[in-house]
Amino acid sequence: MAPPGHDSVLLLTGLPSLYARKMVHHVLSAEPRTQIYALVAPRFIAPLTAEVEALGARERVVFLEGDVTSMDLGLSGAELRMLAREVDVIHHMAFTSDVDLDPAAAEALNVLGTAEVLEVARLCSSLSCLVHHSTAFVSGDRRGVVYEDELEHGQGFRSTTEATRMKAEAVMRQAMRDVPIAVVRPTTLVGDSETGEVDRLDGIYVLILMLLAAPSDLALPLPGKGDMALNVVPLDFVAKASRTIGRSAKAAGHTFHLADPQPLSARQVFELLAHAGGRRAPRGHIPSNLAKAMLRAPGIDRFARSPRAFVEQLMTPVRYDMRNTEHALSGTGLECPRFESYVETLVHAVEKHLREERARRQAELERAAEVEDPLS
């Protein structure tokens, strides 16, 4: 039951990631009478409080100190009773997709954290939907068409994080029999389609970094033949679609692929990125093994996370069926924006990031030189 002055109450995990922050922003905008409880580690509360105050929504967001990997999320008995009484929607957005993370840490956050959120969901007497934010890459190395109702299909995994996120989704699917749960599976996430804002450079950002690091008159070869579909979705669309699905009376018990219904090929994406970055269109291609070796270069590894894992995804011919998503979003006006409409925004955001990073490194070198100068 929502407290006075509110129509609904949302519990959210995953802050301070940009992914979770986009959900907060969208809920504040689309649901003016929704109260948000956000589980946050203590060190992030001050900056997040400043952010919601800047949005004029301080009274609508309550930060709860906790940790998804702790028993009862690290909350007090009084806080648990409050959530059990008030919460009607949960968005579980706390996960790691860092393929370089220690396997035990990935297991704790992705699997144990999911189980703890589920236990809290079982306490909520008026829960209408627990939205579990998974990933399309629980399909691992599968090829061909992957349907939304499929999970364990004998696939192998390219990383511990893919495997642990599949295990986390399996936990949620098993609980669907007695808890109203919907699973959303975005494909490769990119930044905000309107601002370009992003908090981690992986996925197609590997291609952007390759292009920007090369001389402007050099036509780079594409990693792989480039004939596979490269499906990307911007964070702002995923937040809007997930919120809509979580409010749907028919969402519980189903899984939803959040993908571009008409994905471009990797070559088409690379050509658009090159044009947006003022570079020549790619010429030819290089084998995947050579591409992985090339991506060990310090100029790429310094900025991008696990570029070789992205190359492996690039070589996997897979298509994600979207029938549940198309049905859920029908009539809402929500559509995944075409990559062509925001590619320049993404590239310009990376250019800005690189300029700021270089300026920061230069300032650090200058400060170090001043300290070491024996004549100063």
**CA–CA distance, 94 with 44 (Å, rounded to integer):** 14
The residue length of the chain stands at 376
pLDDT attached to residue 245: 98
> Which is nearest to 113 in space by CA: 200, 41, 26?
41
pLDDT attached to residue 303: 47
pLDDT attached to residue 63: 97
Position 285 pLDDT exceeds 70: no
Q: What band does 263 get if pLDDT is binned at 50, 70 and 90?
A: very high
If one compares 127 and 223, the residue with the highest pLDDT of the two is: 127
Q: Per DSSP, what are the bridge partners of residue 61?
A: 36
Q: What band does 168 get if pLDDT is binned at 50, 70 and 90?
A: very high
∠ Cα 227 266 317 (to 5°) = 55
Taking residues 150-169, report their average pLDDT.
93
Task: Tell me the pairing of strands 89-92 and 255-258.
Answer: unpaired
pLDDT digits 0-9 by tens, 192-213: 999 999 988 888 887 888 788 7
Position 289 pLDDT exceeds 60: no
Encode 106-119: b = buried (16+ Cβ within 10 Å), e = exposed: bbbbbbbbbebbbe
**CA–CA distance, 71 with 360 (Å, rounded to integer):** 40
**CA–CA distance, 337 with 238 (Å, rounded to integer):** 11
Q: What band does 142 get if pLDDT is binned at 50, 70 and 90?
A: very high
Direct distance between the N- and C-terminal alpha carbons of the chain, in angstroms, rounded to an integer: 67
**CA–CA distance, 294 with 65 (Å, rounded to integer):** 43
Can you read off the two tokens belonging to residue 158?
């390219």
Lowest mean pLDDT among 244-258, 313-327, 360-374: 360-374
Residue type, 300: I
Q: Per DSSP, what are the bridge partners of residue 182?
A: 131
Taking residues 24-44, report their average pLDDT.
96
Residue type, 234: P
Structural domains in the chain? 1-186 (3.40.50.720)
Count of CB atoms within 10 A of residue 212's CB? 18
Position 294 pLDDT exceeds 60: no
